[in-house]
Amino acid sequence: MLGRHTPLRRDAEQPALGGVCAALALRSGRELSTIRCIAVVLACVAGFGVPLYVLAWLLVPREGEDGSIGSRAVGDAVGIGIAVALVSIVGLGLFVVSALGLSFLGTFSAALLVGAGGLVLIWRNASPPEHALLERRVEPVLSALSASTRSRRALALRGAVALGLLSAGLVEVLDHVHHGLALRQLSGLALVVLAAVVLLGPWWLRVGRDLVTERQARARAEEREEMACQVHDSVLQTLALIQRRADQPGEVVRLARRQERELRAWLFEGRRSLGGESLAAALRQIEDEVEADHGVVVDTVVVGDCPLDDRLRAFVAAGREAAVNAAKWSGAPAVSIFAEVEGDVVSMFVRDTGAGFEPAHVPADRRGLSESVQGRMSRIGGQATIRSAPGAGTEVALVLPLTGRERGEPS
């Protein structure tokens, strides 16, 4: 999740629409499904959630982007003109509806007005990746309009049925709006909702299936990335050590046996190579392993402690890879690890005073920092910052916001 100390960013990986709910879920530590349910409830209660969602979509930058859609929309004179025109048309329609006695729609006026204008600006000023996502979301509607004759007939039939249900529902509401017959009004509203379901239901189902498919694909991709990181951090690192110590048979046997135990435990028992029940214990294990394998001094300082879970084990694994890289490539006689658990954030700094390097010039085939450190931190909702320069040493800063459960708060 994102913490209070990191800026709010909309989800760029798997948003249902704009990624606002995912951003709030990461910031608050709540389940994404819970946040989305709250958003739907707020949207249904007088449309209160719709303008809030659209405004957040406009004002909160997307992950990986510097500016928000709203900042780009300020300079879009044509888009602003279209939005104003559309809002005026919607406002006129609401005035007519209100004149017909459909007062219950008046509570949704703000939602319709803000939603109409905001969506125009979002569509025109979204970044290319986000615009492509929006096109995928509305693709079922566009494909229905350009579908075959048979599909058009089915769409026309659904439209006719929906129009009939809508007409019947509006008649029920209009006939009894001034007579206090709440039950008849509710039945009319039910017919209006049913009309929307008949007309838009297939599109809703398709969007839902697309979301499930995207979620499954993302889960498989994360599993592959995590497996690649595990193989890199354990097997490949051990093979590199064996090559360095090929003239020491006893040391080669020790490394091979240790790697075999770790690999068997990971493959068949589901246990990670990082043992211990707490952050401090896992970091002490890293200190012992790096000193034994690479012959450098590792100074570890831990302020505070917390129990390990899957996210924190991944956090520690990222720190371990940073320490191993420092021991292997920096040429420094010592590596320092400083970790601190403070409030709702745990941070770790891995430093050396060695040769340093230019992060932008690291070859693409060197996956240690990019995948095992930065990629791993990104997958668990944290941040990794690498500061280095030739001759100036290297510092890898890892920051991970904690959930309430990880802080030890009662659930």
* Residue pLDDT, tens place only, 6-28: 578 887 766 777 888 888 887 77
Cβ pair 51, 114 in contact under 8 A: yes
How many residues are listed for the chain in this entry?
411
Residues of the chain with pLDDT under 70: 1-6, 13-14, 45-47, 92-110, 139-152, 155, 170-185, 188, 203, 207-208, 211, 214, 232-233, 261, 265-276, 364-368, 404-411
Listed in sequence order, the residues at least 6 apart from 20 whose beta carbon sits closer than 8 Å to its beta carbon are 10, 39, 53, 56, 57, 60
> What was the pLDDT predicted at 270?
57
> What was the pLDDT predicted at 387?
92
289-342 pLDDT, tens digit each: 888 888 888 899 999 888 888 889 889 989 988 998 888 888 888 999 999 998
> What was the pLDDT predicted at 1?
39
Distance between CA atoms of residues 57 and 134, nearest Å: 13
* Pairing between β-strand 345-352 and β-strand 394-401 as defined by DSSP bridges: antiparallel
Listed in sequence order, the residues at least 6 apart from 122 whose beta carbon sits closer than 8 Å to its beta carbon are 18, 54, 57, 58, 69, 73, 134
> What was the pLDDT predicted at 147?
52
> What was the pLDDT predicted at 331?
87
Q: Domains along the chain?
A: 20-220 (no CATH), 276-411 (3.30.565.10)
- In this structure, what token pair is assigned to residue 378? 């990104």
Residue of 31, 12, 2 lying closest to 69 (CA atoms): 12
> What was the pLDDT predicted at 97?
61
Helix and strand numbers (H, E) in the chain are: 14, 5
> What was the pLDDT predicted at 32?
80
> What was the pLDDT predicted at 397?
94
CB-CB neighbours of 178 under 10 Å: 9
- In this structure, what token pair is assigned to residue 161? 């049925």
Distance between CA atoms of residues 244 and 246, nearest Å: 6
Cβ pair 393, 351 in contact under 8 A: yes
> What was the pLDDT predicted at 194?
80
> What was the pLDDT predicted at 45?
67
